[in-house]
Chains A and B, each alone.
Chain A
Amino acid sequence: MTPKFKAQAGTFESSDIMVLIEPVSEETGRQIDISSTVMLQFEEDIKNTINQVLDDLDIQNVHLIAKDKGALTPTIKARVEAAVKRSLGIQEGTM
């Protein structure tokens, strides 16, 4: 599946992560930009979690921007899923 709309989910609150999705053209692949308050320790973990959710939802082409404030894995998973579903137009939400 390919994201159709710009979408976001999450907040800039502590223990949360703001995920923004931008549609890209086919064959572009995944571009994931992460900034985090725990970047040095957890960048790879965050990226792996994001990729796992994108795999589960079969999203191959996307630009995903994540601004992390120390979110736990289930929060990261939830925010990525919500943003992707909003970008696919299958769930209501902001943007």
Chain B
Amino acid sequence: MARKKRRSMLYIPGNNPAMIQQAGVYGCDAVLLDLEDAVALNQKDAARILVRNMLQSVEFYDTEVCVRVNNMHTPFGLADLEEIVPLQPDNIRFPKTESVQDVKDFMKEVRRIEKEHGIKKPTMTIHVMIETAKGVANVYEIAGADPRIDAITIGGQDLTADMGIVKTPDGVGIDYARKRIVMAGKAHGLDVLDTVFADINDEEGLREETEYIKKIGFAGKALINPRQVDGVHEVFNPTENEVRKAYRVYSEFIRNKNAGIGVFAIDGKMVDAPVVQRAITVLEYANIDLKEIEESVAS
């Protein structure tokens, strides 16, 4: 099965019914129903109840659904888990993760709730957010702290606040953190997802930032407005030339593999495992079924 795309993950305030009920039609790869920073302190209860009801009723189509709960060190974190975990959204996003112990404490509660509700084969995965200097320092251990973690993400606004710096459009203050988080995530085979781009009117700035984070290894980006979805997808989608090249590489790979040949050349350039892996990634982003290529080569 092709790996799930996470080019665009759109934050939706958990207390906004109009946006939640439309979440499945924005065209983003994933929606992040937010119980944390997008909800006022005196509305945490109402948002939690609303998200729980919406998860049971709203059609999200093939959009991945993630719920960002409050940190376990707040009065709201455990209450969020009690309401949301039994419904098994695709993922839960755990903010301000600073240590392996944070992950252990959080997962202990997740597993207890699943057990209490008789969920024997949980499907929900975990996204951990790195938003403090301490979290960045511990990120490699955090990324490997539990087998249900399948993505790691950077929270740029909170991180710059924790570092006592201003988040600038060039992102220079969080560049080290971005790269360190990418390496930690890649080392554990996780999707690594970037922080939001706050200026919804700066389409060029969003494009430049997305091109940069794609180059350094991020699989996608968190968004705060549906208007940002298309711009981010354009950057992450492969070009026609890239797709044609990848198709050729994968076809030749299958043909040579069937003939028992491991390394081969196309147009005088060696094709080995990393080149094939890159081709597979391009084909998956282009929604091309690898099985169909394999069958067409075999026939």
Q: CB-CB < 8 A to A75: which residues of B?
A: 17, 21, 50, 53-54
Q: Does A82 make an interface contact (CB < 8 A)?
A: yes
Partner of A92, one of B18, B44, B49: B44
Q: What is the distance, in angstroms, from A19's C-beta to the closest C-beta of chain B? A: 10
Q: CB-CB < 8 A to A33: which residues of B?
A: none
Q: CB-CB < 8 A to B45: which residues of A?
A: 82, 85-86, 91-93
Q: What is the distance, in angstroms, from A15's C-beta to the closest C-beta of chain B? A: 4
Q: CB-CB < 8 A to A73: which residues of B?
A: 57
Cβ-defined contact, B56 with A74, below 8 A: yes
Q: Does A16 make an interface contact (CB < 8 A)?
A: yes
Q: What are the interface flags for A40-80 relative to B under an 8 Å C-beta threshold, 1 for contact and 0 otherwise?
A: 00000000000000000000000000000001111101110
Q: What is the distance, in angstroms, from B90's C-beta to the closest C-beta of chain A? A: 19
Cβ-defined contact, A93 with B46, below 8 A: yes
Cβ-defined contact, A81 with B49, below 8 A: yes
Cβ-defined contact, A72 with B42, below 8 A: no
Report how many residues on chain B are interfacial, defined by Cβ distance under 8 Å: 17
Q: CB-CB < 8 A to A16: which residues of B?
A: 17-18
Question: In the complex, A14 Cα to B52 Cα: how many Å?
Answer: 20
Cβ-defined contact, B18 with A13, below 8 A: yes
Q: Does B239 make an interface contact (CB < 8 A)?
A: no
Q: CB-CB < 8 A to A78: which residues of B?
A: 17, 46, 49-50, 52-54
If A15-B17, A16-B18, A78-B52 touch, whether A72 touches B46 (CB-CB below 8 Å) is: no
Q: Does B287 make an interface contact (CB < 8 A)?
A: no
Question: In the complex, A14 Cα to B54 Cα: how many Å?
Answer: 16
Question: In the complex, A40 Cα to B120 Cα: how many Å?
Answer: 46
Q: Does B43 make an interface contact (CB < 8 A)?
A: yes
Residues of A that sit less than 8 Å from B by CB: 9-10, 13-16, 71-75, 77-79, 81-82, 85-86, 91-94
